[in-house]
Chains A and B, each alone.
Chain A
Amino acid sequence: MGEESQLEIGKDLLTYAQASRHLAELHFGQQDWSGLPVPVVGLTLVLEPRYKHKALSEFRWKECYDEHGVRHAIDEPPPPKESEFKTVNSWWNARYQVTIVVVKDKQGRAQFRVLFEDRLAFTIRTLDAALVWPVEAEKKAQEKLASLIPADAFELYLLTGHFPEISKRSRLTYLFRKGRPTIALRQDEEVNYALCALCLHPIGYYGDTWAGVMCPTDEVIAHLLMMRGSEEKFWANANQHSLDHPAAGL
């Protein structure tokens, strides 16, 4: 009790979202213009390889406190066992809705594995990651988005979580979505079909979720500006997911 009772909730003990805000404030003077990503227990933090604080992806929380200020230890996950197999290829099989992985053993003999992607697990992990987004940050990002798109598109975004915009350059239609990858479509008088889902997160994201380290509307702004100002780079930098893959978020 002694030491723990002195810890003050909101000051010494912070939620993920409070920690995110706090770290952003602390590090702004050190040219960390985008703030700092916050690792989440049970999720893999994937960071841009040249990012200054790349080591954060290896960070593991050792303890947490509940709402009463009581400490709980967090068990460290066991280190991954060295596999005798090496992955040589993998692809999404739309017909069976599975990922096929080809592996080779040390003798060079090939085998294959089947991975089942669980959409519900994707959704639940995304909810876990959402704890790092300060609500104030999301509100601020929405104000910014409102200044970038027509009022009717922003209303649509508030009501449904997505809005479309046609590229002046390629004439492709992009469906920007809150907390999900952007859908690229070809729509004109003759054809109407979806191309793929474009997934791009500034700085980093949480593996096997749709969540980036920034709040969802910040990511929509990033997609929108890249589409408008550097469409080819948007396509080059984004992961292109097949629309029936769980990562596409449809």
Chain B
Amino acid sequence: MSPDSAVPHADIPGAEVLGPAEIARALTRVAHEILERNKGADGVVLLGIPTRGLPLAHRLAARLAEVEAGVDADAITGSLDVTMHRDDLALQPTRVIGSTELPPGGIDGRVVVLVDDVLYSGRTIRAALDAMSDLGRPRAVQLAVLVDRGHRELPIRADFVGKNLPTASTERVRVLLSETDGRDAVLIEGPTGEGR
């Protein structure tokens, strides 16, 4: 695809599409949507997918705790590593395995909200659903992502989206978070950007 036919950001490598304020606002809205959909935080568990889904899950949990009385943010947050359930392991260099830590109450009978930074092909979420079935049986599973960039390869959709971002498949979306990268930003890198 030539840069001309791509979306407007494509010719600027590393164009910032969301800043810290926008990310904070999007997360606050997503937190309220989670509470609305589930009629409160009762039985809700947030599982972040490492690396950047995990800090996002913690931020969402903190917002849930602010709004709902009696919610302990740490007690409803966990991490779910999907590396060993991926279908593309043999196509890529060996991946480092992240950690899986469930909240104290486990996930049986709970409403699990999976949290990730970018929704793209949907294959990570497919792996997450498989990984979760080895750990317990949630009552329902919902998906919250900061950015939905399209180009799904599987019949998977997000329940809560921070920002819909139309992209070309040749572009690269990077989410930076202060916990892992020192600052909050969502960047689009064009076909000429780094990482080609």
Q: Do A and B actually bind?
A: no
A interface residues (Cβ-Cβ under 8 A, vs B): none
